[in-house]
Amino acid sequence: MKHNTGRFSADGGRIMTRKTGLFNILLLFTITGMTGTPAAAFLSPDDFTPPLQTPSVETTALSSAIATYAVEKSFAGITLTQNERDALSSFYAARWNQPYWMNEDGPKPIVSPLLSALRHADLYALAPSDFASALKLEDNGWDETGPIELARSEITLMRAALLYARQASAGRIRPGSIARKITVKPKPRDPAMVLDIMSTHENPVEYLKSLHPDTPEFKQLREAYLDYRNIVARGGWPVISRGKALKLGSTGKRVIALRKRLAATGDLPASEPTEKESFDEALRKAVMAAQTRYGIKPDGVAGSNTLRIFNIPAAKRLEQLRVNLERRRWLPRNLGYRHVIVNQAEFKLRVFENNKEIYQSRVVVGKPGHSTPEFSNSIKTVVFNPYWNVPRSIATKEILPILARNPGYLARKGMSLISSRGRTISPYGVNWDRVSRRSFNFRIRQRPGARNALGRIKFLFPNEHSVYMHDTPSKSLFKRDERAFSHGCVRVQDPVKFAEVLMQPQFGWSKNTIARKIAARRNRAVRLKENIPVHLTYRTVWVDKNGKLNFRRDFYGRDKTLAAAMKRKDRPRKLARLRRTQN
């Protein structure tokens, strides 16, 4: 294919031909039509030889109208933010409206790898259908293409590149559209910076791919996603029929199905036979390994619950991986040198330092209906012997009906009733039969002590949900495998040890020092010298420190909602190949 590079002056500057000059003006009109505002700058008449014939006002207006019409009709599905539109306009203005992807004869060689990356966006759990407008250009023949169509193609490709950059760095779906309690705020790469770096990079497409999260966690999860794509492509794994529990000594065809199922995910080593009908020690170990990965008590017996989880189709697990890759893109690129992650789906809290896990603890999270939110913030304060200001929802829904029967309930729980004027009053002086949830005009506060719902210590990180991490007097709940029992806050199994992990590097306080401060029974808030990032997440799939892929139940239903949103956004399309080879 011939590439017309134009003529150059003796000092290397490009001399604008009539065709090139018209192309640049039409490209400027295309941008203008796209943004609704004029581009920041025109080509300076001092810097180039003007076209032999300047377009008339009528021709310019018509070109602008055609460009606007083309934008409205051709770019559906590639919707840019205002920041992206502004960056795009400024980018072309700064380069005197010279095209980046196209020349006068059609696409430049760099277009082919871009279209390939867009066509295979699903390898990163993105959707090629989001880039349908750009991929349609593969069907074009460029022999008789005019400057208006070339300009439209240029902007289409650049919009697709910006959309890919945003999705790679911050995801496809707006988190708040999934659930009201998901207030994670993804931060896509600055579009002006993306355009600046990409346009000067020796391999612009590789730069775009580098915008995916560059963390070991994301890379391991993506590798698992690709593995499961292959499993699904091969037909998935066999279903193990219902029947008695399979255990050491069992025999039959169901044992063969179990072997094949565990071999498909690598739980049964490749060296072990899959056609063997007997349940031996090697198979028992494989069942235990798989049970551990799925959060089941590892007893080596494939009972009804274990088989139900093993029989979840491979396609469903692939979907679960896809939504969790999307969810990881919502988090900050840098989680913090020293940070805390609460994985609600695992019921675990972990502390990391320089990407290495240094502490973990069991936690209790919100029960369905009072789910723990997803967001990122920073732990700023640790409070010893805290008061508990009972949330109004709990006071009116749960405590108010009790007070109507027994006003002495508050004293028994170490609670005080506080009037709207801030004074402590007796609950016996209130006619509770005349107080409704709407007219409830009091506050309830629980004093520090052994019965306090927050226990002896709490960890504050300001947020719009008024949730925090804290101790609890209800220690027995930590023995459960699934621990969704709170009203939304996160209860920590060993809060004193957790406090030591956070505070020892800053204050030199040991666990004994913290225990003495709690034993003093004095309410005290300690401001951390350095805030510690905390991320409340909901990861139903993750790779652990041993490299094992873990799955958990979607007990809040957020995976299901996110998967549905991603499917609605997908628009299946048969993708054609480029008609012409780019040289």
Q: Residue 63: pLDDT above 80? A: no
Per the model's pLDDT, the better-predicted residue between 576 and 363 turns out to be 363
Read off the pTM. Answer: 0.82
Question: Is residue 144 pLDDT above 50, yes or no?
Answer: yes
Q: How far apart are CA 4 and CA 103, in angstroms?
A: 7
- Which one has a higher pLDDT value, 184 or 106? 184
- In the chain, the domains with their CATH numbers are 7-209 (no CATH), 237-312 (1.10.101.10), 334-551 (2.40.440.10)
* Mean pLDDT, rounded, for 234-262: 97
174: pLDDT strictly greater than 60: yes
- The pLDDT assigned to 569 comes to 74
- Distances in Å between the alpha carbon of 290 and those of 144, 263, 296, 544? 60, 11, 8, 14
**Measuring CA to CA, which residue among 138, 123, 146, 114 is closest to residue 212?**
123
Evaluate the CA torsion angle 306, 311, 317, 320 in order and state its sign: negative
Please, what is the average pLDDT of the chain? 86
Contact of 448 with 385, CB cutoff 8 Å? yes
Residue 558: which pLDDT band, with cuts at 50, 70 and 90? very high
CA neighbor of 566 nearest in space, from 369, 240, 395, 324: 324
582 token code pair: 């780019």
Look at residue 68 and tell me whether its pLDDT is greater than 60.
no
Residue 481's pLDDT is what?
92
Higher pLDDT, 578 or 306: 306
Q: What percent of the chain has pLDDT over 70?
A: 84
Where residue 556 falls among pLDDT bands split at 50, 70, 90?
Answer: very high
Rounded CA separation 207/199 (Å): 10
- 58, exposed or middle or buried, with CB in 10 Å at 0-12, 13-18, 19+? exposed
The residue behind tokens 């911050």 is 170
pLDDT of the residue at 43? 36
The DSSP call for residue 576 is P
What is the tens place of the pLDDT at every residue in 336-394? 999 999 999 999 999 999 989 999 999 999 999 999 999 999 999 999 999 999 999 99
The tens digit of pLDDT for each residue in 218-247 reads 999 999 999 999 999 999 999 999 999 999
Dihedral sign for Cα 268, 270, 275, 276, please.
Answer: negative
Map tokens 């679960």 to a residue. Answer: 320
Confidence label for 284 from pLDDT (cuts 50, 70 and 90): very high
Q: What is the pLDDT of residue 104?
A: 78
